[in-house]
């Protein structure tokens, strides 16, 4: 995992940042957070996922360490994370993939101040006025078709990682193409779009985009322009259509829309694997989902509980200016990790925090001090409700037709960007309709 500002941090040198931090700490008489700089936080976490929670009980909820060749401060506990974000918004710089070599201003996630407000409100307005219901019906249909295809291919034998990943990735890409651009994935424009996106990433998000991504971006923009000229190729209820209704889409917003699909496809594909993993281990809940009507609360609760336990892991910022929290100096140049995964596992946030229990979202919706898988500040995910709906549509379609069991390991491993189910995890789909054997 590499962060842009982490590169800044490494370039300047962890030593330079630390030396300055110690000096400021002496002058201002404010200690740096506790923690041993000889301990590699990234390594101890990869070896034992609970190590960060343990450290937060030993050292306190704010501690420092060495990770990814940079100086990091970790914060555990949502109320504290939210408070720091709120009070020190101007002192923190969001950290994400740097797309400014491709288009001005970069991604919404890295924008600040007025520029962020402008593009965020354009996106918010378009999202509010888009009716995604037709596209969700298409997603449910595609999910059932895709799973039926897997069952035809594998019968009652475990579905291996590669086949599952490819199918989920196609499902998500087709879905996002429809939702964001309003383009039918089976149309000529849809097929062209798919090929052009292969050039943009293909095997995963490219963290340092270069010439190849620049070319791919302009091909995608060209395909989208052509599709929007031919009215019949674009459904009226797409995000892009609603955006065009506000006025011409500039290069910055176009780049952002293109990257929403690019980043959204990897993250959502990974999330569908988690949903499948939870389904395999919690048949009592998938039976309940199968029994409820479309749009019932259990499928959504299942997705929200999956997000409490997995996928949403951290928020990352870089300290732009020195500031003090709980008596500790947060020095300029330090990387800051708000530990969301760990915060969701604290016993004072959730009863039996490691148990999978969607029931906690059926009784009462926990407030943002207890549950924040989509972020905590002005950069919160604008697609939060959309993503829950996406996951619930998928789970419902799967649970309606199949009971899910699995073969292989039930452990999680750290992938390139996120923790994920071990590659050996392979679901087995058994048709619910008696007499129909796959």
Binding site for ligand HEM (CB under 6 A): 94, 108-109, 120, 176, 260, 264, 267-268, 271, 307, 311-312, 315, 373-375, 379-383, 387
3-state secondary structure 67-135: ECCEEEEEEECHHHHHHHHHHCHHHEEECCCCCCCCCCCCCHHHCCHHHHHHHHHHHHHHHHHCCCHHH
Through-space distance between the first and last CA atoms of the chain, rounded to whole angstroms: 40
Q: Is 293 helix (H, G, I), strand (E, B) or coil?
A: coil
The residue among 148 and 381 lying less far from ligand HEM, judged by its C-beta, is 381
Question: Cβ of residue 379: shortest distance to ligand HEM, in angstroms?
Answer: 4
Q: Is 13 left (phi over 0), alpha (psi -120 to 50) or beta?
A: left
Question: Cβ of residue 89: shortest distance to ligand HEM, in angstroms?
Answer: 11
Asked if residue 114 lies in contact with residue 120, where contact means CB atoms within 8 angstroms, the answer is: no
Q: Considering only CA atoms, which of 77, 275, 34 is closest in space to residue 172?
A: 275
Question: Cβ of residue 311: shortest distance to ligand HEM, in angstroms?
Answer: 5
Identify the bridge partners of residue 403 per DSSP, sorted by sequence position. Answer: 430
For the chain, the residue count is 438
Question: Cβ of residue 111: shortest distance to ligand HEM, in angstroms?
Answer: 7
Asked if residue 296 lies in contact with residue 361, where contact means CB atoms within 8 angstroms, the answer is: no
The residue among 151 and 270 lying less far from ligand HEM, judged by its C-beta, is 270
Question: Cβ of residue 28: shortest distance to ligand HEM, in angstroms?
Answer: 28
Instruction: In whole angstroms, give the CA distance from residue 109 to residue 315.
Output: 11
The residue among 61 and 391 lying less far from ligand HEM, judged by its C-beta, is 391
Question: Cβ of residue 220: shortest distance to ligand HEM, in angstroms?
Answer: 15
Farthest CA pair distance, the chain: 77
Question: Cβ of residue 68: shortest distance to ligand HEM, in angstroms?
Answer: 17
Strands (E), 44-171: 62-67, 70-76, 92-94
The residue among 154 and 374 lying less far from ligand HEM, judged by its C-beta, is 374
The residue among 184 and 313 lying less far from ligand HEM, judged by its C-beta, is 313
Instruction: In whole angstroms, give the CA distance from residue 430 to residue 170.
Output: 22
CA-to-CA separations, 196 to 108, 211, 219, in angstroms, rounded:
22, 14, 6
The residue among 158 and 373 lying less far from ligand HEM, judged by its C-beta, is 373
Question: Cβ of residue 325: shortest distance to ligand HEM, in angstroms?
Answer: 18
The residue among 94 and 331 lying less far from ligand HEM, judged by its C-beta, is 94
The residue among 33 and 375 lying less far from ligand HEM, judged by its C-beta, is 375
């Amino acid at each position: 995992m590499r962060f842009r500002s982490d590169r800044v941090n490494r370039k300047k040198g962890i030593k330079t940042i630390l030396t300055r931090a110690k000096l400021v700490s002496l002058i201002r008489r404010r200690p740096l957070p506790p923690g041993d700089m000889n301990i590699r936080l990234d390594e101890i976490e990869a070896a034992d996922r609970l190590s960060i929670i343990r450290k937060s009980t030993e050292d306190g909820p704010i501690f420092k360490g060495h990770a990814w060749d940079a100086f990091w401060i970790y914060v555990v506990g949502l109320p504290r994370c939210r408070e720091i974000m709120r009070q020190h918004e101007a002192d923190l710089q969001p950290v994400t993939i740097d797309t400014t070599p491709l288009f001005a201003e970069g991604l919404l996630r890295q924008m600040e101040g007025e520029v962020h407000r402008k593009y965020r409100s354009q996106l918010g307005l378009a999202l509010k006025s888009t009716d995604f219901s037709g596209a969700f019906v298409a997603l449910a249909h595609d999910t059932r078709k895709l799973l039926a295809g897997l069952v035809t291919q594998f019968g009652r034998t475990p579905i291996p990682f590669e086949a599952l990943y490819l199918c989920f990735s196609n499902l998500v890409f087709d879905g996002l193409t429809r939702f964001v651009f309003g383009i039918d994935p089976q149309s000529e424009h849809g097929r062209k779009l798919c090929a052009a996106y292969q050039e943009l990433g293909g095997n995963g998000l490219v963290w340092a985009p270069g010439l190849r991504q620049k070319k791919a971006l302009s091909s995608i923009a060209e395909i989208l322009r052509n599709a929007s000229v031919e009215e019949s190729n674009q459904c009226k209820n797409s995000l892009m259509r609603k955006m065009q209704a506000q006025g011409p889409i500039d290069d910055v917003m176009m780049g952002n829309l293109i990257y929403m699909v690019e980043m959204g496809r990897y993250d959502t594909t990974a999330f569908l694997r988690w949903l499948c993993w939870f389904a395999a281990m919690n048949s009592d809940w998938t039976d309940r989902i199968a029994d409820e009507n479309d749009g019932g609360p259990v499928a959504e609760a299942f997705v929200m509980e999956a997000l409490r336990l997995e996928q949403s892991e951290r928020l990352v910022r870089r300290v732009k200016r020195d500031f003090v929290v709980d008596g500790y100096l947060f020095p300029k140049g330090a990387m800051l990790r708000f530990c969301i995964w760990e915060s969701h596992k604290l016993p004072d946030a959730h009863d039996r925090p490691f148990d999978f229990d969607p029931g906690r979202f059926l009784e009462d919706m926990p407030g943002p001090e207890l549950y924040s898988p989509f972020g905590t500040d002005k950069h919160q995910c604008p697609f939060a409700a959309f993503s829950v709906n996406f996951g619930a549509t998928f789970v419902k379609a799967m649970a309606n037709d199949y009971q899910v069991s699995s073969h292989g390991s039930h452990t999680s491993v750290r992938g390139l960007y996120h923790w994920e189910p071990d590659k050996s995890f392979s679901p087995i789909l058994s048709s619910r309709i008696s007499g129909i054997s796959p």
